[in-house]
Amino acid sequence: MNDVLPDEIAQWHHVERLFAETARCYGFREVRTPYVEPTGLFVRAVGEATDIVEKEMYSFAHHDESLTLRPEGTAGVARAYVEHRVHTREPVSKWYYVGPMFRAERPQRGRYRQFSQLGCEIYGDPGPGCDAELIDMLVGFFGALKIPDVRVLVNSIGGAEARARYREGLVAFLEPRREELSAESQRRLGSNPLRILDSKNEGDKAIVSEAPGLEKYLSDEDRAHFDGLLRALTALGTPYTVDPRLVRGLDYYTRTLFEIKGASEKLGAGDTLVGGGRYDNMIEELGGPKVPAVGFAAGVERLIIAGEPAAAGAGADAYISPLGAGSVDQALVLGRDLRREGIATEVDTRGGSLKSQLRRANALGSKVALILGENEIASGTVQVKDLLAHTQDSIARDNVVRIVADRLMSRSQ
């Protein structure tokens, strides 16, 4: 779990603001749901035989209730959609969220136990057009974040029937090779064989590379849906690769699956920036009506590692240096007057030498220092030192706020 110190916060604000702005342009509205949900929600929605539910949830009991720190956002947001009967008010809902998620994983670069996801979910649109639009939105967003070498992988896992048939086909292929599989995959053969396709074990990978792909198990409708997605991506000019062995670690997906990867030199093993897909059965399974859904989530820490650093915000544009204890009160008043004009201002109340005060002014990136000593107070003036042009002049106290505001304004133009 990480601390984000003030030096790093500009990166976070940059990513979060750009995402909120992008999502708004695409018609999404923000939703905020609790960090804690009943454990049963994740067991039902994410799936009992997934890594998340089997070993990564932070769960605790309170009285007779088992609660879990949310390991992902989709289940809680879908619960809120069902609970508030949102389908009765609008045929299509487009929601986005940003916030912390919790998984007890082995930490490494880009993989943490508390991490932040930004995500979008669309309810009520069954067609592949909105799947393509989500992917295209992400590619545009990553362009704005200046994330290089972005690769989009897509696949279709079909509906429940295709998945069941594929599961049988995969087990029939893997069963004769059972002894060659890792212990974990042998176990999965009984519980969740699709997850074997995602194994990191080299021996498993070699076997899996010869396994049948999902494609031939798709129904005609699944196939048409997937073709529609690929056609829309082509029309949008969004580069993609079909990866027939792409499966995802959560059980709720139907039809469209996608991942977006970044440069592995920067990200190491955690090079998956985004995971997403369609989950047309979840709303009904959570007790709602039959409403199709599609969405994605991206790891904010990973986007920060992969993107170009954002400029850190300036500490204070104006810096007030009172000289002598008698000028501090007047410095506080001047500071407040400047801030009322929207000027970020730091008043040095430490009482050090002018030299040490100006050193701190420079460190904060200040553009002007306002020096206020006993002489200035007596004569109703302020010394205004331009820290960039290295000039200094004496200005009447009554005019100083307006003049400093004008100077800073002309600087920023």
Residues found near ligand HAM in the complex (CB under 6 A): 72-74, 103, 105, 110-112, 115, 117, 119, 121, 249-250, 272-277, 295-299, 301-302
> Residues 6 or more apart from 221 whose CB is under 8 A from it?
159
Nearer to ligand HAM, 51 or 348 (CB): 51
CA 388 to chain centre: 37
Nearer to ligand HAM, 188 or 278 (CB): 278
Residue 153: closest CA among 295, 256, 286: 256
Distance (Å, whole) CA 259 – CA 135: 9
Nearer to ligand HAM, 109 or 411 (CB): 109
Q: Is 248 left (phi over 0), alpha (psi -120 to 50) or beta?
A: beta
Q: How far is the CB of 54 from ligand HAM (least distance, A)?
A: 14
Per the listing, tokens 């990191």 go with 200
Nearer to ligand HAM, 262 or 322 (CB): 262
Nearer to ligand HAM, 105 or 337 (CB): 105
Instruction: Give the up-direction half-sphere exposure of residue 403: CA atoms within 13 A in the CB hemisphere.
Output: 17
Q: How far is the CB of 278 from ligand HAM (least distance, A)?
A: 8
Nearer to ligand HAM, 159 or 335 (CB): 159
Nearer to ligand HAM, 72 or 133 (CB): 72
Q: How far is the CB of 103 from ligand HAM (least distance, A)?
A: 5
Burial of residue 391, with CB atoms counted within 10 A of its CB: 0-12 exposed, 13-18 middle, 19 or more buried: exposed
Q: How far is the CB of 73 from ligand HAM (least distance, A)?
A: 6
Q: How far is the CB of 270 from ligand HAM (least distance, A)?
A: 7
Helix (H) or strand (E) holding 385: strand 381-386
Q: How far is the CB of 286 from ligand HAM (least distance, A)?
A: 14
Distance (Å, whole) CA 211 – CA 382: 79
Helix (H, G, I), strand (E, B) or coil at 221: helix
Angle at 296 between CA 230 and CA 266, to 5 degrees: 95
Q: How far is the CB of 291 from ligand HAM (least distance, A)?
A: 14
Nearer to ligand HAM, 251 or 317 (CB): 251
Helix (H) or strand (E) holding 169: helix 160-174
First to last CA, the chain: 41
Q: How far is the CB of 276 from ligand HAM (least distance, A)?
A: 4
Give me Rg for the CA atoms of the chain.
28
